[in-house]
Amino acid sequence: MFETLRARVGLAAAFFIPRGLFAATVLVASALSAQTVLFPTPIHLTRQIGDPISHSSSIVDEYYQGNRAFAIRGTLTAITDYEKGQLTRIDRAAGTYSITTFEAIASRTKGEFPAVVSRQESKLTTRSAGNRVIAGRNTQLIEASREDRAVSRRFQIALDPEITVSDAALEVIVGSAYPNSKNEDSQDLIAAMRSAAPAGAMSKAGSSTALPLEQTITYDIDGESLRFTNVVSRVGNELPPADLVTIPPGARRVDDERLQLPQILHDLDSLNPRPTPRK
């Protein structure tokens, strides 16, 4: 069971750069209405992501402005436009770019990552765990867990109460909506974050939640553990550098690698040995 989870997570990590460089997220199947502004105030987050599969970490700069989200890691840039309903990826080192609609991503990746472990009847438990300074900011710690018969999931979340975002913007930041399939972990993370919101907390766009500055998930299966870390090291309000979010002159348009993933999974599955039926 644990090896199956490790293999699936490892495969996903190989083809998806965390926090939106390959994963586009949006709240509804169509483009947002003209009246909706996800991020009326710009937010810039520098994020460090720990990957227990490769035993490495990566730094991603995220910029949220209006109805667009930008993610930059090294020479790779992703621009998710929630009004147009499309994801633009730029690889400056390769001199390539892709522009893909949310519908195309959803239709090609639907069902490719089914839940590895079926959820049994269990309850998400949350509790306040005090305070801690992260990125020079005072945060409120929330711990949550879900105990199933097959797998135990433990969450640690740090929220910055000085910065609140709408429910819609929170789903963008967490990366939990269309065209990605909603999964148990992202739903539990959001539920735990919202449990810490004061009753009646509101923003201009509706109910609001404090900005998450840390999200850690630990899986315990068969006596082994996998721990994924996601911590913000800096919070600002800068806009993304123009030269990093503009398609370079002469860049060649290619297909988004995410659309190739179903075929890659199929090819890998075909390599698995199968028993030969007896004659």
Q: What percent of the chain lies above the pLDDT cut of 70?
A: 68
Please tell me the predicted confidence (pLDDT) of residue 177.
59
What pLDDT was estimated at residue 150?
76
- In angstroms, the Cα distances linking 150 to 2, 10, 124, 145, 147 are 10, 20, 15, 14, 8
Q: How far is CA 148 from CA 35, 217, 276, in A?
A: 42, 15, 35
Judged by phi (left if over 0) then psi (alpha if -120 to 50, else beta), residue 32 lies in: beta
Domain residue spans in the chain?
2-266
14-28, 49-63, 144-158, 187-201: segment of lowest average pLDDT: 14-28
Give the pLDDT mean for 27-44: 69
DSSP reduced 3-state for 3? helix
Q: Interior CA angle at 56 toward 52 and 61, to 5°?
A: 110
Q: Are 215 and 157 in contact (CB under 8 A)?
A: yes
- CATH pick for 2-266 out of 1.10.40.50, 1.25.40.10, 1.20.140.10, 2.50.20.10: 2.50.20.10
